[in-house]
Structure 1
Amino acid sequence: MHLYRGLRRVLPRSFSARLMAVVFAGVHVPLLVLLLWMAGGGPSPDGARWTLVWVVLGATVVGAAIVMAALHRLMAPLRQAADALEAYYDEQRLPHLPDLGHDQIGRLLHSINRSLHGVDAGLRDLRRSVLLDPLTQALNRRGCEQALADSARQAQAQRQPLSLFVVDLDNLKPINDAHGHLAGDQVLVQLVESARHWLQPGDWIGRWGGDEFLLVVQAGHEVACERLRRWLARLDQAGGNGAMPLKASAGGAAYRPGEDLRGLYQRADAAMYRAKYAGGARLLCEDD
């Protein structure tokens, strides 16, 4: 480490330059000793001797240049590894470093590949655990907030319709009382699974809290409301837990480009409470 630190003071910005300086010194030291000896205390050389010295000097310089070029190419995997680490740090772009065997460089690249892929998989799992409800695997409240902001941003940028629905179960407590909380949990899971059967790409469902869910449908408001009504009817007919029909009240509101998302939620939530006070097991949209 002393040699490394010493050369770093002289050539602070390039490891390649330090490596080539060592190679250059090692190749030229014998020649420099010969020249110093001949210039200082050695016998007076004749013309042939000086010719030999210049030939050796030229061959040494050419050889050193070839060695340095080869070393520069040999260090390409190290430069690639450094670029891969920076790319993942800056852009979360996973590397695809080449397999170079089992020498020190090959093991280093393999370790970087394996480590970054493991870190990335762990981060993906962490993001999922942060944004997903552990019971239903739907989005949790934080995931809903993030997804709603993303959906509204996309709808405004692409001038697409967007509808938000607030869905609240009417009879989860009777199911819990009659069949136990495990059956109630299964009802919530089945509700999410049944919604995913008809939700299209870009649509999503999330558990806002307790037995209240949010659904976003990227369609015209009338079309979206009709899809919700058909879904609620299927839930009521099939029965959420195999013994009792699953009844839910829902309210819907169409997104107005540029509006505050809290206002959008409040409009859908108010429509849901109107549906619940009207007897439940129905959907009311803001125009109803």
Structure 2
Amino acid sequence: MSIIDYLRKSLALTQAIIALVLSILIALLVSGYSLSLHLSDQRDEAFSLAQEILTAAEGGATNAAWTLDPVLAEQIVASMTALGMVQDAVLTGETGNIIAADRKPVQEKKYLIAWVTSNFIGDEILGERKLYIELNNEMRQVGVLSIKLNPTPLAQQFLTFAGSVIITGLLQAVTIALVLLWLSSWLLTSPLRRVTRSISKIDPENPDPRTLESLTIHATNEMGQLVNHIQQMLKGLISAQEQLRNLATRDPLTNILNRTLIADRLSQAIITAKRNHSKVAVLFIDMDRFKTINDSLGHDVGDTLLIEVAHRLLKTLRSNDAVGRLGGDEFLVVIEGNNELSELMYVVQRIDETLTLPYFLADREIRTSGSIGISIYPENGADTNQLMRCADLAMYKAKASGKHWHFYAKEMSDKVEARLNIEAALNYAVEREEFHLNYQPKINSETGKLVGCEALIRWNNNPEDISVEGFIKIAEENGSIIAIGNWVLETACQQIKRWEKEYGGISVAINVSARQMQEDNYVEHVLSVIKKHDVNPKLLELEITETVLMKALDKSFIALKKLRQHGINISIDDFGTGYCSLSYLSRLPVDILKIDRSFVSGEQPSTAVLEMIVAMAKALGLKTIAEGVETQEQKDWLIQEGCDYLQGYLISKPISSKELEEKFLVNLN
């Protein structure tokens, strides 16, 4: 045997290679453990440093937040960022408004530093301290002081320490492998080849431990033990294949049928029902409040709840019924042979009752229930997909109605189909020029003269009978409101410019949706459109509802402040129906409060509320406009209460731009 052949078949060399790999892995694991401890200590020191800095600045920051002293606040955050590792410092007030903030320029990190920071240390090391003052023997929070440390120095220290640890570990691994190679004195190639030949004859699809050749002379040594272990592995492989077959049909968490097999069982049930002229009921079950339970109590409790639900369903159903888990907290039950509705209702009520019983998990009592949607073959569908879809729709109907169960009805499918048609049409409505704007005039309550109008969108070719509010809501939900809102802004600005040239200009108000306000570049887009059409910003008014405003107060405040600084008027639409408090209202950059029509022409107009809104607006230096003015009596009442502007069908319904010109603008001057 040549040296090359010896090396190729050398067990000693193989052992050395294995030992080297294992030694390196062990060295890396030990090194990793050491590095993790070191990294943990570094992070703890960094967080401790952040807390020390916050403690040092707490007193002054509290004073600055309480007194709203921007100079003191700027000095405090600047002194904090002057420290070596402090990257950012922010002082916010009790409403979340930013009083002062300072930030060091961020230096570009080298690739290795950036990789270590991102994967091990974290891009941010944050510290936060809530600021309190004692007022009338009570602690009142007046603000929050927060900082962010620069992780780059930690990454540099970590890399230096990691290099020395890893190099030392690798040298030890190589030394151990060389020693093992030197200690290996003979090879066991012949029995290994025999074992290899017998292993090659084993069918992996149908393994048999008896295929292995027995080694009589090695029965008690390591080689014999190896053969025995391989036999055990083959037995384990057989067991694993059985488990895989089980996993292909069973849900791994609850051990009931999985989505694939429950759908197959439903398909088989349909075939049987078709042959026997019988019925099949499909129950789509979604657990109520599961996400809340899962998020608040943890995934372990959520998993235990699902297991208990599966157990209860199995215990409640008959042996010939099938139950499977579709995923998440959704279950599907297939019930065969119940031709009478009363029989099915009995089963549904039993399921409802057993799912509503309290669950005792994690040493506490948890109460939940299931929303059950029911479809029936052949009335609601002739195939698996259709029946599951109908049951799913019925489940959502049950959840929306607050009832625990609901049978599928064709009207539900028609509503879904109509919704899909509207969504599809909305996606191309702007491109197909299917929208136009009508304008509803607004007059001065004292003089009766036109002061502006509100632009109201209309859809010319909508595929379904749907109100403006209806298709706007759908556009909000599917995202097409962005394109629609951009079209409204463009069209309104074009109209403003034309009226400015011909009639001296009037104010035009447009509505802004929640999705538009959430766009990061909304302010820039509005300003660019104004600049594009050379529009006087004072002639554009943006109407924001209280709900939109309060969803993201800080972001809305910043956006509206920027727009108002450029001369654009801001009004709060439907005022009085939301939850905008006086403290927030006094700080908001708004010009007009638009009183909701329910207080003017609703079923129960409220004089007290209207008086309060008008008085509050005057105290804050804001104008008021009442919408929904439909009678002379309402008009006189609003004038008497001191409302500044009026809008409604008494003055004019929404009309085209041409009609508004003929009825109002020609006599404007």
What range describes the TM-score normalised by the shorter chain of this pair?
0.5 to 0.7
Report the residue type matching 1:256 in the other structure.
P
RCO (CA 8 Å, sep 6+): is it higher in 1 or 2?
1
Per-residue Cα deviation, 1:182-210 (whole angstroms, up to 9, x for no partner) = 01100100001001112112211111111
Give the Å deviation of 1:266: 1.5
8 Å Cα contact 1:240/1:246 also seen in 2: no
The two structures, once aligned, show a CA RMSD in angstroms of: 2.9
Give the Å deviation of 1:143: 1.4
Q: Which residue of structure 1 lines up, in the alignment, with residue 282 of structure 2? A: 164
Residue 251 of structure 1 is aligned with which of 366, 373, 398?
373
Give the Å deviation of 1:264: 1.0
Per-residue Cα deviation, 1:92-127 (whole angstroms, up to 9, x for no partner) = xxxxxxxxxxxxxxxxxxxxxxxxx99987655332
8 Å Cα contact 1:163/1:220 also seen in 2: no
8 Å Cα contact 2:374/2:391 also seen in 1: yes
8 Å Cα contact 1:235/1:245 also seen in 2: no
2:387 matched to 1:267? no
Per-residue Cα deviation, 1:109-153 (whole angstroms, up to 9, x for no partner) = xxxxxxxx9998765533221011100011111112211111212
Q: Which residue of structure 2 lines up, in the alignment, with residue 193 of structure 1? A: 311
SS of corresponding position for 1:202: coil
User: How many Å separate the matches in 2 of 1:156 and 1:179?
Assistant: 46
SS of corresponding position for 1:165: strand
Task: Flag structure 1 segments of 5+ consecutive residues without an equivalent.
Answer: 1-116
8 Å Cα contact 2:251/2:258 also seen in 1: yes
Instruction: Select between 237-246 and 161-170 the one with higher mean Cα deviation.
Output: 237-246
Give the Å deviation of 1:252: 0.4
Give the Å deviation of 1:260: 2.2
SS of corresponding position for 1:151: helix
User: How many Å separate the matches in 2 of 1:187 and 1:221?
Assistant: 32
Q: Which residue of structure 2 lines up, in the alignment, with residue 220 of structure 1? A: 339
Residue 283 of structure 1 is aligned with which of 405, 411, 416?
405
Percent pairwise identity:
29
Normalized against structure 2, the TM-score is what?
Answer: 0.24
Report the residue type matching 1:239 in the other structure.
Y
User: How many Å separate the matches in 1 of 2:340 and 2:384?
Assistant: 17
Residue 210 of structure 1 is aligned with which of 325, 328, 332?
328
SS of corresponding position for 2:348: helix
Q: 1:269 to 1:231 in 2, by over 3 A?
A: same
Q: Which residue of structure 2 lines up, in the alignment, with residue 48 of structure 1? A: none
Report the residue type matching 2:301 in the other structure.
A
8 Å Cα contact 2:316/2:350 also seen in 1: no
SS of corresponding position for 1:176: helix
Q: Which residue of structure 2 lines up, in the alignment, with residue 94 of structure 1? A: none
Number of aligned pairs?
174
8 Å Cα contact 1:225/1:285 also seen in 2: no
Instruction: Select between 119-128 and 136-145 the one with higher mean Cα deviation.
Output: 119-128
User: How many Å separate the matches in 1 of 2:387 and 2:289?
Assistant: 26
Q: Which residue of structure 2 lines up, in the alignment, with residue 183 of structure 1? A: 301
User: How many Å separate the matches in 1 of 2:274 and 2:247?
Assistant: 29
8 Å Cα contact 1:187/1:240 also seen in 2: no
Q: Which residue of structure 2 lines up, in the alignment, with residue 231 of structure 1? A: 351
Give the Å deviation of 1:157: 2.1
Q: 1:180 to 1:120 in 2, by over 3 A?
A: closer
Give the Å deviation of 1:278: 0.7
User: How many Å separate the matches in 2 of 1:286 and 1:255?
Assistant: 11
User: How many Å separate the matches in 1 of 2:283 and 2:246?
Assistant: 23
Per-residue Cα deviation, 1:243-275 (whole angstroms, up to 9, x for no partner) = 111211010011118812211112111110100
Q: Quick check: which one's strand share is greater?
A: 2
2:125 matched to 1:125? no
8 Å Cα contact 2:263/2:384 also seen in 1: no
Report the residue type matching 2:385 in the other structure.
R
User: How many Å separate the matches in 2 of 1:240 and 1:231?
Assistant: 18
Per-residue Cα deviation, 1:196-255 (whole angstroms, up to 9, x for no partner) = 112112211111111111001112362223312222223223236351112110100111
SS of corresponding position for 2:366: coil
Per-residue Cα deviation, 1:48-96 (whole angstroms, up to 9, x for no partner) = xxxxxxxxxxxxxxxxxxxxxxxxxxxxxxxxxxxxxxxxxxxxxxxxx
Report the residue type matching 2:339 in the other structure.
G
8 Å Cα contact 1:163/1:221 also seen in 2: no
SS of corresponding position for 2:311: helix
Report the residue type matching 1:139 in the other structure.
L
8 Å Cα contact 1:171/1:248 also seen in 2: no
Q: Which residue of structure 2 lines up, in the alignment, with residue 145 of structure 1? A: 263
User: How many Å separate the matches in 2 of 1:268 and 1:153?
Assistant: 19
